[in-house]
Amino acid sequence: MRKLKLKLGSNSYEIIIGWDLLQQMARLLDVAGLRHDVVIITNPVVEQHYGNSLNQNLLQEGFKFSTLLVPDGEAQKTLKTAEQLYSRLADLHVERTTSILATGGGVIGDLAGFVAATYMRGLPLVQVPTTLLAQVDSSVGGKVAVDSGTIKNKIGVFYQPRLVLTDTATLQTLPAAEFSNGLAEVIKYAVIVDKLFFAYLEENMQRLRAKEESCLEEVIFRSVKIKAGIVEKDEKDTGLRNILNFGHTVGHAIESASDFKIKHGEAVALGMLAAGKISLRMGLFNEGEFNRMKVLLQMAELPARLPEIPLARVSEAIAHDKKIHNGRIRFVLPKSIGEAFVSDEVSLVLIEEVLSTWHE
């Protein structure tokens, strides 16, 4: 078991990473000073795999708990579902000291986190992430939100959890495609700030994809440490946190131009390659390092080929991106493996050129 603390003054919290933590849930909640009264918000997929072991542990330790199920899928990340959850919380007569256990992937984390942040002006929130993406990314940093219309995460707040409990054993049941989705964010962290971590991933990708216990723990710990370090310096996303958008400007645009048929991690992988190509053209990155990035993404079963999507829609989506300031795109570029920076020098024309000549 590994622990690290995200230091944000009175909003500080611990992130605990380890195998079979669900079976120790009650004790860990107790150590964190939380009351023995919890509401688990989860979905039927996660409930089916892990409901029993979690419930058993809470029962044994005399916890009072209820489980609220939300159907699976991003389509549930809405104010409508949040409202349904509010009324179920009201039916349960929850008090302000009742903790919400957001148990699932990023969809559950964002939705249950948003509900916890807003119900009665805030209930204690415990993130219990069960996808790799949620474990290395969405459970850490306090962004919670629901979607509105076609705009993802449009309605949200910053609300830090009281505790993050990451049970790495839950990844055993995660489908391979979802695992790769999370690996895109892992590789992102390595490229932007940590060349030793990148080398570790190059050496251990097989073990990682085989979900070996010690390897999972190491990789999740190192990823979370990087994200936590950045969040500590920029809790409300006003500057430094921008670096975490590496691969995401083009990535988000590819996702939306494909009507979300291309998964987030796949789109981010392509976005990282696009950023690499742009940086190469600007003479700021080198071919050898670009190829290492490409090979590692392929080892993670992530795409390197641009799929058939209308490029006009991709550039339109980039042009509408919120990361544009005064007509300039804030773009994260790799300088070398382990170092990236935010540039205002990337034009839409250059991005279009790189996308249209992708396979040359």
Ligand X SMILES: NC(=O)c1ccc[n+]([C@@H]2O[C@H](COP(=O)([O-])OP(=O)(O)OC[C@H]3O[C@@H](n4cnc5c(N)ncnc54)[C@H](O)[C@@H]3O)[C@@H](O)[C@H]2O)c1
**107 contributes a contact to ligand X by CB under 6 A:** yes
Restricted to residues 136-155, the positions that interact with ligand X (CB under 6 A) are 137-138, 141, 143, 152-153
**110 contributes a contact to ligand X by CB under 6 A:** yes
Which class for 158: exposed (0-12), middle (13-18), buried (19 or more C-beta within 10 A)?
A: middle
Q: Long-range contacts of range 32-36, CB-CB < 8 Å, 24 or more positions apart? A: 32/126, 32/162, 32/163, 34/99, 34/124, 34/126, 34/162, 34/163, 35/97, 35/98, 35/99, 35/124, 36/61, 36/62, 36/63, 36/64
Residue 59 or 75 with smaller CB distance to ligand X = 75
Q: Got the DSSP string for 330-350?
A: EEEEEEETTEEEEEEEE-HHH
146 Cβ contact list (under 8 Å, min separation 6)? 77, 78, 79, 81, 82, 110, 111, 114, 153, 154, 155, 156
**104 contributes a contact to ligand X by CB under 6 A:** yes
**CA of 32: how far to CAs of 49, 146, 271, in Å?**
25, 27, 39
**74 contributes a contact to ligand X by CB under 6 A:** yes
Q: Kindly indicate which of the ranges 84-92, 103-111, 200-208, 278-286 contains the residues binding ligand X, using the contact rule CB under 6 A.
A: 103-111
Q: Kindly indicate which of the ranges 90-98, 106-114, 199-207, 271-279 contains the residues binding ligand X, using the contact rule CB under 6 A.
A: 106-114
Among 57, 160, 166, 170, binds ligand X (CB under 6 A): 170
Closest distance to ligand X from the beta carbon of 299 (Å): 20
Closest distance to ligand X from the beta carbon of 182 (Å): 7
Provide the token pair at 32: 């964190």
Closest distance to ligand X from the beta carbon of 43 (Å): 5
**77 contributes a contact to ligand X by CB under 6 A:** yes
Residue 174 or 191 with smaller CB distance to ligand X = 174
Provide the token pair at 191: 């490229």
**256 contributes a contact to ligand X by CB under 6 A:** no
- Chain residues that interact with ligand X, rule: CB under 6 A: 43, 45-46, 49, 72, 74, 77, 104-108, 110, 130-131, 133-134, 137-138, 141, 143, 152-153, 170, 173-174, 178, 181
